[in-house]
């Protein structure tokens, strides 16, 4: 099993602040995905990154895949209360038949 | 398009009892996953099917957990006998295929409480 470490585990910020969430591993992934999960629901895909060094933007969210494809970051600009949720990174590895393994998540709370 | 359907939504059982969860993936999706999510943590992969074959079950506690996907569509996950530490949300997900980067679509999960 390829382990994914996420940091920080918890984050509480005020509306308008910026934040960065990290996802790290010692393994190389063929792709890495970021999901967001709200209470009582399953995770929903935000983005998939495939190429080392790739940067993708989704409105106020910026995702980056490390050059070595072992790590990724999620940056949120001007956070809003609607961004509150559990942010999960998930990696698919060739050696595991592309089994999708998740990190433990970062729980984000944005207060007005 | 109908999403991933799971049932039941909630289940409370006593320890040492048996329980089964059912999942109907999105039509046409070849890959099906079962995950266990303990409160406050990320989902832990239990088993991944490609059609009706097992791709990865390395984290499935096989002494008490079993899963099947006989016709390559619906799947059931069974726990027998249940332990207190099995209390968690069991999530089913499906994707078009096992290729890297394919989006996984999740059901709402079954919340299991073992007392």
- B11-69 residue pLDDT tens: 999 999 999 999 999 999 999 999 999 988 899 999 999 998 998 899 999 999 999 99
User: What is residue B81's DSSP assignment?
Assistant: S
The pLDDT of residue A1 is 57
The pLDDT of residue B71 is 87
Q: Which residue of A has its CA nearest to B41?
A: A104
The pLDDT of residue A2 is 59
**Start-to-end CA span in chain B (Å):** 37
What distances in angstroms separate CA A50 from CA A4, A55, B54, B77, one per listed residue?
A: 16, 10, 25, 31
The pLDDT of residue B81 is 97
- Ranges of residues in chain A whose predicted pLDDT is under 70: 1-2, 94-97
The pLDDT of residue B97 is 78
Between chains, do A100 and B48 touch, taking CB under 8 Å as contact?
A: yes
The pLDDT of residue A30 is 86
More confident residue, B63 or B2: B63
Structure tokens that stand for B90 in this block? 């069991």
* Residues of chain B with C-beta less than 8 angstroms from the C-beta of A50: 100-101
Q: Report the distance separating Cα B29 and Cα A46, nearest Å.
A: 20
Collect all residues from A whose CB is shorter than 8 A from any CB in B: 1, 6, 30-31, 33, 40-45, 48, 50, 86, 88, 90, 92, 94, 96-105, 107
The pLDDT of residue A95 is 63
More confident residue, B110 or B96: B110
The pLDDT of residue A8 is 96
The pLDDT of residue A6 is 96
Q: Which residue of B has its CA nearest to A4?
A: B42
């Amino acid at each position: 099993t390829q382990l994914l470490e996420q940091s920080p585990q918890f984050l509480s910020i005020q509306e308008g602040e910026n934040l960065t969430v990290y996802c790290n591993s010692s393994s190389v992934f063929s792709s890495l995905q970021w999901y967001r999960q709200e209470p009582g629901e399953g995770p929903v895909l935000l983005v998939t990154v495939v190429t080392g060094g790739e940067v993708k933007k989704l409105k106020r969210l910026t995702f980056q895949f490390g050059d070595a494809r072992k790590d990724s970051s999620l940056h949120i600009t001007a956070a809003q209360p609607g961004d509150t949720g559990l942010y999960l990174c998930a990696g698919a590895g060739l050696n595991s038949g592309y089994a999708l393994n998740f990190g433990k998540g970062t729980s984000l709370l944005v207060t007005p | 398009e109908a999403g991933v359907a799971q049932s039941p939504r909630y289940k409370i059982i006593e320890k040492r009892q048996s329980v089964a969860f059912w999942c109907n993936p999105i039509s046409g999706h070849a890959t099906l996953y079962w995950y266990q999510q303990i409160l406050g943590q990320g989902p832990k992969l239990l088993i991944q099917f490609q059609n009706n074959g097992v791709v990865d079950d390395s984290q499935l506690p096989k002494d008490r957990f079993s899963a099947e996907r006989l016709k390559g569509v619906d799947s059931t996950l069974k726990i027998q006998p249940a332990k207190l530490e099995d209390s968690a949300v069991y999530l089913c997900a499906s994707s078009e295929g096992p290729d890297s980067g394919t989006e996984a679509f999740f059901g709402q999960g079954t919340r299991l409480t073992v007392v």
